[in-house]
Amino acid sequence: MNDEPRRRLRVGQAITPDEFDELSDEQLERLVPRAYREFFPGKDACADGSFYLHDGTVWSFYKGGFLDE
């Protein structure tokens, strides 16, 4: 068991693949800016920690933003 304190995650903050694996759908959804939350398909549908928005852009949890920025 990891005894290190967990850092406070915020909207748009990049996370590690390990953190992605540990977080629930609800926790991950809170990291996505409010304007894009409706497009979050759930953790199981996120290839490589990212998902597509309606306009074809890709949101990445590992980058904490869009892949093309």
- For 24-27, the CB contacts below 8 A with 24+ separation are none
What pLDDT, on a 0 to 100 scale, did the predictor assign at position 68?
82
At 19, which helix (H) or strand (E)?
A: helix 17-22
Task: Give yes or no for a contact between 29 and 20, defined as CB atoms under 8 angstroms apart.
Answer: no
Residue-level pLDDT at 14: 96
In the prediction, which pLDDT does 48 show? 93
| C-alpha Rg value of the chain to the nearest Å | 12
Instruction: Give the Cα separation of 53 and 1 in Å (integer).
Output: 36
Q: What is the pTM of this model?
A: 0.86
Query: How much is the pLDDT for 3?
Result: 53
Per-residue pLDDT of the chain (69 residues; tens, 9 = 90+): 455 557 788 999 999 999 999 999 999 999 999 999 999 999 999 989 999 999 999 999 999 999 886
